[in-house]
Structure 1
Amino acid sequence: MTLHDVAARAGVHYSTASRVLNGQGNVSPATRERILKAARDLDFVPNTQALFFARGTSRTFGVLTQDAAETFALPTFGGASLALGAHDIAMLHYDADGDLSALERITARMRSRKIEALLVLGKGPEQPLKVVTSGLRVPVAFAYAISANRTDASFVTDGIGAGRMVADHLLDLGRSRFAHVTTSASLAARQRQQGFVDRLRERGTQMVVRRSLHGDWSRGWGEEAARRLLPRMGQLDAIFCGNDAIALGVESALTRHGVRVPDDIALVGYDNTEGNSWPGARYPRRQHLTTVEPRLGEIGRRAVEALVAAAAGTAPLPRGPQPVPGELIVGETTAPGT
């Protein structure tokens, strides 16, 4: 059914039917109701794209991803997609496939498309993204990425908050003798370490192993770090690890040497790989590893919500980095099941 069919059924001119169905036009209540009834009877579905362009809008946001297939970019992209769908906003998606030099070229192509906002999605805060957006004249926000322009709205994980959250959890359990196993090659890991150490100090304690053990992100590094810590097991009762893979490696090596987790050593990771970090994921009622869920889907959602408000003119974009708090998922490595 077309708008012409609705007008014919209602016995009015095409332009009158168009104005009424667009929420405009000064017509009598009886005529308006006749047009609306004709549309219902014919199960008329407006051409949304034509309606948007008639109003001078597109209801389309550009989404530029650094590498959409990257493990932790996927849930951020998923959260953004769900938020766009909830607002009935279409997505024009370009992916740089990991090529940072392509970001500027793709952004230039965006200028020729009628987008109302641009979301730039990265792979974490390690390398600030340089995206030239001055010619777009639309709101721009970054998700799971830091803009090279420090005033741009950049929605990121709250690493410092995560470290503080873990420290509070372990201290509240009565643990007091800590070590930290992580990597030095990551800004996010250093932020988590800073939050952890600072919170311990605020609450009147500090790590027994004063220097964090630094390696890579692998389970193998976790096993190696645990072997280094074995001579000090009697002095420790908790270990915070930079990610879940490291934590599982630490646990594997410790249990092989008779150390009981969590009875002797409480263990916490980061990433919630057991819960997959996907937006809307249902965490197991009881999972093995205590960890921090970074809520990557929420990062994508918040970035989109900020862009929607800015594009509608109801609220300005926030300035600078916007840390999104994670969520502590308590598992059996700090609180054994009953």
Structure 2
Amino acid sequence: MAAIAGVSVSTASKVLRGGGKASDATRERILDAAARLDYEPNALGQFLAQGRSATIGVLTLNAPGAFTMPVLTGATTTLGARDLSVLVSDSRLDRSLITATVRKFRARKVDGLLVVGDGSGTAMRSVTAGFTVPVVYAYGVSDDPDDVSFLHNGELAGELAGRHLLSLGRRRIAHISASLDDHSARERAAGLAAALAEAGVELVGGTGLHGDWSRSWGRRAAEDLLASGLEFDAVFCGNDTIATAASEVFRQAGLRIPEDVAIVGFDNLAGLMDQHDRTLTTIDPLLSTVGARAAEYLADAIEGGEFVPGLHRVDGVLIEGESTAVTR
């Protein structure tokens, strides 16, 4: 290509990288020759010339997890679009493996590290001190406030659910979720409480029913709610599994959904499984976006972009389904 343009290899290389001091005419000849030859610059060669490996280490705490996978997919897709290769290593929730993986990534001289947790309640021990390159955390929060962490917005999820139910005219709203010792459950409950307080509405029973994230708990809590004699016309469930189980109990008791009881869940499980099922109204935490934003931030930081410590939230969206959409 340099020969066709009538310039040296060095001059052609500098122009194609966006630099050099070539004249406009020379630059035009080089670009024209590149276009005619369908020339693609060697991205790896350019990175190596800059003293970089063009590789990002990705340390996952639980890669097979149903909710980790969309985060990982969003991150790796984004890094690939930035011409960055990815090395993924999973610790399988074993802290001893994390230490070994950190050493491996340092030896490979990665340009940056992305640590992917296992949810908002994940205890993520900071590994940043072991690197001289940028480190970003996703789907969990580092225990070092000087680190950068990306997480879905749990409180907003609760607010979205509450506001949606209120907008439907529901005023006797109950809540079924996991124990408030769980960070995720606590955030969603706080968001719901804020939305109800803003409207001057009290949560049915004063507090929610709190157990775990399982289907069996969803059924038992729904049965307890029915047995309590409390009047309710809507329920925000901490996840879709609980919401589905509770819906079954309510229907078996003769209640119509959504006419008698409107139900909102969280997770968008149908979307995660690529199903076009709008049976359940749910909050989608946009986990793929969490991974993509974290990866984009890391790639920018490697190139000298702004690095702001602390927690960066990604807002989810409400997806309306049949469980709240009353047809008249």
Same fold by TM (over 0.5)? Answer: yes
1:201 and 2:192 correspond: no
1:299-310 superposed matches below 5 A = 299-310=290-301
Following superposition, the deviation at residue 210 of structure 1 comes to: 2.2
Following superposition, the deviation at residue 305 of structure 1 comes to: 2.2
1:76-87 superposed matches below 5 A = 76-87=71-82
1:260 and 2:250 correspond: no
Following superposition, the deviation at residue 115 of structure 1 comes to: 2.5
**1:168 maps to amino acid:** R
Assess if the C-alpha contact under 8 Å between 1:122 and 1:144 holds in 2: yes
1:324 and 2:320 correspond: no
Which of residues 68, 73, 77 in structure 2 aligns to 1:73?
68
Assess if the C-alpha contact under 8 Å between 1:161 and 1:325 holds in 2: yes
In structure 2, distance between residues paired with 1:61 and 1:309: 12
Following superposition, the deviation at residue 239 of structure 1 comes to: 1.0
Which of residues 292, 295, 302 in structure 1 aligns to 2:283?
292
1:205-244 superposed matches below 5 A = 205-232=201-228, 235-244=231-240
Assess if the C-alpha contact under 8 Å between 1:178 and 1:209 holds in 2: no
Following superposition, the deviation at residue 265 of structure 1 comes to: 0.9
Assess if the C-alpha contact under 8 Å between 1:64 and 1:96 holds in 2: yes
Following superposition, the deviation at residue 44 of structure 1 comes to: 3.4
Following superposition, the deviation at residue 11 of structure 1 comes to: 4.9
RMSD: 2.3
Residue number in structure 1 paired with 2:54: 59
SS of 1:275's partner is: helix
Following superposition, the deviation at residue 37 of structure 1 comes to: 4.0
In structure 1, distance between residues paired with 2:103 and 2:137: 17
Following superposition, the deviation at residue 177 of structure 1 comes to: 1.0
**2:214 maps to amino acid:** S
1:269 and 2:265 correspond: yes
SS of 2:95's partner is: coil
Assess if the C-alpha contact under 8 Å between 1:261 and 1:333 holds in 2: yes
Following superposition, the deviation at residue 135 of structure 1 comes to: 3.4
Assess if the C-alpha contact under 8 Å between 1:255 and 1:261 holds in 2: yes
Following superposition, the deviation at residue 119 of structure 1 comes to: 1.1
Assess if the C-alpha contact under 8 Å between 1:110 and 1:136 holds in 2: no
SS of 1:169's partner is: helix
In structure 1, distance between residues paired with 2:24 and 2:187: 62
Which deviates further from its counterpart, 195-204 or 155-164? Answer: 195-204
Distance change (3 Å), C-alpha of 1:26 and 1:213: closer
Residue number in structure 2 paired with 1:312: 303
Distance change (3 Å), C-alpha of 1:333 and 1:27: closer
Assess if the C-alpha contact under 8 Å between 2:204 and 2:230 holds in 1: no
Which of residues 91, 94, 98 in structure 1 aligns to 2:93?
98
Residue number in structure 2 paired with 1:3: none
CA shift digits 1:45-68 (9 cap, x unpaired): 333212221132333322211122
Following superposition, the deviation at residue 321 of structure 1 comes to: 1.9
In structure 1, distance between residues paired with 2:306 and 2:214: 43
**1:107 maps to amino acid:** V
In structure 2, distance between residues paired with 1:12 and 1:211: 76
**Unpaired runs of 5+ in structure 1?**
1-5
**Unpaired runs of 5+ in structure 2?**
none
1:155 and 2:146 correspond: no
In structure 1, distance between residues paired with 2:238 and 2:257: 18
Assess if the C-alpha contact under 8 Å between 2:128 and 2:147 holds in 1: no
**2:313 maps to amino acid:** P
1:178 and 2:173 correspond: yes
Following superposition, the deviation at residue 181 of structure 1 comes to: 1.0
Distance change (3 Å), C-alpha of 1:268 and 1:30: closer
In structure 1, distance between residues paired with 2:96 and 2:44: 33
Assess if the C-alpha contact under 8 Å between 1:227 and 1:253 holds in 2: yes
Residue number in structure 1 paired with 2:246: 250
Corresponding residue pairs, total: 327
Following superposition, the deviation at residue 35 of structure 1 comes to: 4.0
TM-score, normalised by the number of residues in structure 1: 0.88
Assess if the C-alpha contact under 8 Å between 2:267 and 2:283 holds in 1: yes
Following superposition, the deviation at residue 175 of structure 1 comes to: 0.8
Residue number in structure 2 paired with 1:45: 40
**1:193 maps to amino acid:** A
